[in-house]
Structure formats: structure tokens, C-alpha cells
Structure 1
Amino acid sequence: MLTNLADVLRNAGLKVVEVPGWKTRGHGPMSGVRGVLWHHTATSAKVSGDYPSERVVLEGNGTTDGPLCNLGLGRSGTWYVISAGLAYHAGTGSHPAVGTNGNGYLIGIEAEHPGTAGNPWPAEQLDSYRRGTAALLKAYGLGADRLIGHKEWAPARKIDPYGLDMKTERAHVENYLRGSPAPGGIESMALDTPWKDTYGNTQTVQGFMAETQRDLNEIHAALLALQKSRIPGDPNMTNGANALMDTVARASITYAMVQDLHRKVDELETGGVDVDAVAARIAEKLGPQIAEAVANKIAERMAA
């Protein structure tokens, strides 16, 4: 019996509702854990509530007796712990790493979604789906390759989870397993998600984005000012400014490159760029020692 499900999810920082009796509920014990199977409930979007499918997954659907999953996922991203034991969710199907006994070896998650076009997955729900799945896989020593869509388990008869590309979802889960944001960048993380910066200080993603924007604004302004002041015979050209421009020249940094980086950081607010990718590009162009020297010279220039 998977009696650690609630703790695994809660320790991952997710909101959890423990449905009474879940620790002893099931069609007998699980045979083991070889993966996680994603579903959608197919309940109409017109039905209100965070997880209106709770009663069905507990009691059954008139054809199959409940429990019909181990975990439910509400529209808000809240997890509902349904059954620690075997649940009837997978049905006939197969997977190379699992075999044909999906109910016995796969943790079944029924996410609240109608499974029809015109109903995008709520961002908070999808983020929680990925984070919770990563936490479960980590708890059982499994990799992201063990995330399976029901439509992959039984492609001839299932379409769930509707609208989600499982290859992409496994990439997101893989990145969460490694402790980094999902592919495509910081946009996949909630703005209030804790983020540890280079110096080990914890702040929020939103704060980190704003700080990065301010830093590049300052670099952009300082280099622009230096570029404008670099006129032959200009008496105001200081030794510090000359040194900075020489350092910039050696590092092959151009004003156009700074503008490009500036635009990319602007895109962070719409989720267009991974902060790590921007930082990596800066480091690649400068090298850590030259980057530090440039930063120091810019600080001197701005303080002058």
C-alpha cells in the first residue's frame, strides 16, 4: 500500500487533500511502482468545483468499481489522495518498462479536465501535475521516462491526457527532477516560486527576473554612455572608461550584443527566455574573470 503518497506531494510544496480512508482503500495492494500514468477525468467543464469527479473516482462509474485512481488533481493544482492500493485506471494496454499490469504497477492520476477542444489546461494545474509527478518518480527511484500518458498505454482506445504532448511533458518532469525549471525557461515556474541565486540567496522567480532586468538596464546604459563619450580627443574620457572600453574590445562585446541581451531579458515577462541561457551566453562571451572586470569598471564609471 502506497501510504506515503500524501507526504511525498506535501513535501514537494504542493497542496494536498487526504480523502478519508485512502490509506486502506484499493482493490488489494499494489504489486510495486514502475511508473506514473496520466489521465483526464472527462467531466464537463460546466460542472463547478475544484474536483467534481471525486465521487466517481471513489465509487466507480457504473461500469467499473472504484477506486478508479490513486490520486486526483483538481483544477487549482490541489492533489486529492484517493487510494494507497490498487485502482482500476489503466485497463488493457502495455509499456516496455511496465508490462501489461498497469493497475498493479502504475500510480494512476486522474486530472480534472473535460478532455475536449477549447478547454486549455489551467497553468497552475499543469505546473502542479508536472511537479507532483516529478516528486512521485523521485520517491520511487524512477526517471522521467516512466511518466506515461494513458493514450500511450492504450493508443487504440484512449486520448488522455487530451492536448498534452507526452514527450514535452516528460522533458518538463525531467527538469524538475534535476531541480531546474522546465524547458523553455522560467515561464513554467510560478512567480512566487523560491529561486536560489548565484550567491545562495533565496528569492522569488519574480524578484529574480526584476533584478536581472535592472542589472542589464544598468549595463546597457553604462555602455551606451561610454560609447557616446568615446570621441577622439574628448577631454572627459577618463582612464577608467578607457580601461573598460579596452576590456570590452578584448572580450569582443559589442553594443549590439548588449542590446540583444537586453531584449531577451525583456522577454522574460512573457516567458520567452530562460534566465540561465542568458547568463550562459554572457559567460560564454566574457569568461568569468573578464566579466568581473567589466562589471567592476562599469561600477566605477557609474559612481564617477
Structure 2
Amino acid sequence: MARPLSASKMVEILRAEGLTVHEVRSWRTHNRNTKGSWGPVNGVMIHHTVTSGTAASVGICYDGYPGLPGPLCHGVIDKKGHVHLVGNGRANHAGLGDGDVLHAVVNESGLPPDNEADTDGNRHFYGFECVNLGDGKDPWPEVQKEAIEKVAAAICRHHGWSERSVIGHKEWQPGKQDPRGFTMDGMRTRIAERLGGRDGARGGTDPEPKPRPKPSYEPFPGSGFFHTGQTSPVITAMGRRLVAEGCGRYESGPSPEWTEADRRSYAAWQHKLGFTGEDADGTPGKASWDKLKVPRPRH
């Protein structure tokens, strides 16, 4: 969970990743914020446009169409691997999806089946439309797939997310099939390799998903660890787990710094477990920490 990127920061991180970025018309102020909340953001969602041609696809994604006003995403990735930014803020791209999927994205855990449409995805996800007919025949040039990888990695790196914060529309909303033509597991593998400092897969087909190791949880660091001024990735990981458990009391974040919002969130977790009095004052104890199962952060 994080505060959305500003327009300037979005351009900065995408260009720093080596992408060619085009700023379309008044994209910096083009959004649907008057129709609902934008943020906190939790992940990146990938789509295909069901259109052909860069100019036409970018125009539709900027303007929308009758019944669904634009922007229809934040950026369009064309077949040359260029990124066309069309919106900054809430965009009509994700629609209602499965709240259990959102919890998994926040927790960066395995995705459950998307069998419900009960959560507003336009609030929580950056959306990128990729120019492709989505018929299973229209090719995906390697430069386009590499651009998808770079876009997602740049945003994840900025927010401190892993590849598990990147999903396809088909993994969010029942009945959707986009993106069609490559696997999201394969794309997440590429993103993970880029985030890990390697160049990512470059073959013509997606690599087979690698077996994932059993989760490694952060051992209880002791109650004295949690104090004003303490900064650690462990605190960010803890906050994400609290949000996933429905106990988040953050207006923005969580962040690596221990704050009053962390204390209130942890107190909510302690109350959820049935603790009361001093045992629910928001200072982590070993029993509640072990039940929270905080993933060991990547240092």
C-alpha cells in the first residue's frame, strides 16, 4: 500500500528504466478522481487493448468511449515498446474485482481464484494497456514484452514491491481474459529477475514458472525494537500483513519507519486475536507476532 506516484515521478522512473516515454495531451491532469478515490495503490495491472495501431489505441485509451469515459489506463505500451502516458489518477481500467486477490497482492502471496467482483480496482491499481488484439494470434514483439517488464519493475522498485504486486486483468475480474498471448507467471518471473539485478528473460517463449520456496517468516525482534525513530524493512513487511488482515489504520504507507499508525494498526490486530488491556496496546509481543506471519523482507 502506497501513495500514488506524481506525474513527474512516473516519467522519471520509467525513463530511468530505459523506456521511451510519450506524454499525451493533458495526461498529467486527466483522471476520474471526481468519481471515486485514487489510492492508496497496491499494485500494477496489465491489460490488452483489443485494438490495433498505436495512434488509434492511444486515442481510445485517452478519450474512452460512450458509457466508459477515459482515461482507460495510465499508460499504453505499443508494439515498439514505447509507453504513452494518458492518465494520472483514477482511471477506468480495472473495475470491480475480487477482494481476496487484492489481499494477496498486498501480502505478496499466491493469488486465489478471482471468483467475486466486490472491490474497486480502479482505486488500488496502476493500469497499463498493451496494444494487441487479444485473439491469441496477434503477436507480442519481444520489445513490447520487455517494455511491460520494465514498466512494472520500475513501479515496483519505487514502492518497494516484489513481482507479486503485478497481476493481469484476468487474475482480477471474473470473465476477463487479458492479457492473452503470454502468461502472467512468466511475466512475473521476468520482473523478479529485473528487480534482482538481472536483465530478465529474453527468449521467444515464457520460461516455466520456478517452484517457490516455503515462506520464510521474520522472527520476533523483541518489543524494544518498536519505538519512535526505528526504521526497518521489517516494519514495512509487518504493515503489509496488518493491511492484509484488515487491521491497517494507515492514511499512507506502511513505510519503514515505526509511527503511531503502526501502533494503532497493531493494536487492531491484537484486538482481533482477542487480547485486551496492556496486551492490546499496539506494541508487538511474540505471541501476536508469530500469528501475524510477517514475511522476511528482502534486504
Q: Give the TM bin, normalised by the shorter chain.
A: 0.5 to 0.7
Shift in Å, 1:50: 3.0
Partner residue of 1:34 out of 42, 45, 57: 42
The amino acid that maps onto 1:165 is T
Q: Deviations over 1:14-47 (max 9, x none)?
A: 1000112111111116212210000000014xxx
SS in 1 for 2:167: strand
1:260-279 to structure 2, matched below 5 A, reads none
Query: Could you state the TM-score of these two structures normalised by the residue count of structure 2?
Result: 0.57
Shift in Å, 1:146: 0.6
SS in 1 for 2:92: coil
Instruction: For CA contacts below 8 A with separation 6 or more, give which structure has more relative contact order.
Output: 2
Instruction: Give the structure with the larger helix fraction.
Output: 1
Contact persistence 1:51–1:112 (CA under 8 A): no
Stretches (4+) displaced over 4 A: none
Shift in Å, 1:63: 2.0
Partner residue of 2:29 out of 24, 27, 35: 24
Shift in Å, 1:117: 2.4
Query: 1:225 is matched with which residue?
Result: none
The amino acid that maps onto 2:191 is V
Q: Check 1:187–1:166 CA distance in 2 against 1; reply closer, same or farther (3 A cut).
A: closer
The amino acid that maps onto 1:64 is L
Query: 2:197 is matched with which residue?
Result: 179
Shift in Å, 1:187: 4.3
Shift in Å, 1:65: 0.8
Alpha-carbon distance in 2 for matches of 1:164, 1:61? 27
Q: Check 1:173–1:51 CA distance in 2 against 1; reply closer, same or farther (3 A cut).
A: farther
The amino acid that maps onto 1:118 is K
| Unpaired segments ≥5 residues, structure 1 | 189-304
The more displaced of 23-32 and 119-128 is: 23-32
Alpha-carbon distance in 1 for matches of 2:45, 2:15? 20
Query: 1:108 is matched with which residue?
Result: 127
Alpha-carbon distance in 1 for matches of 2:88, 2:61? 13
Alpha-carbon distance in 2 for matches of 1:51, 1:148? 26
Contact persistence 1:5–1:84 (CA under 8 A): no
Q: Which has the larger radius of gyration?
A: 1
The amino acid that maps onto 2:185 is K
Query: Could you state the TM-score of these two structures normalised by the residue count of structure 1?
Result: 0.56
SS in 2 for 1:53: helix
Alpha-carbon distance in 1 for matches of 2:54, 2:61? 14
Alpha-carbon distance in 1 for matches of 2:97, 2:84? 25
SS in 1 for 2:41: coil
Aligned: 1:125 with 2:133: no
Contact persistence 1:26–1:85 (CA under 8 A): yes
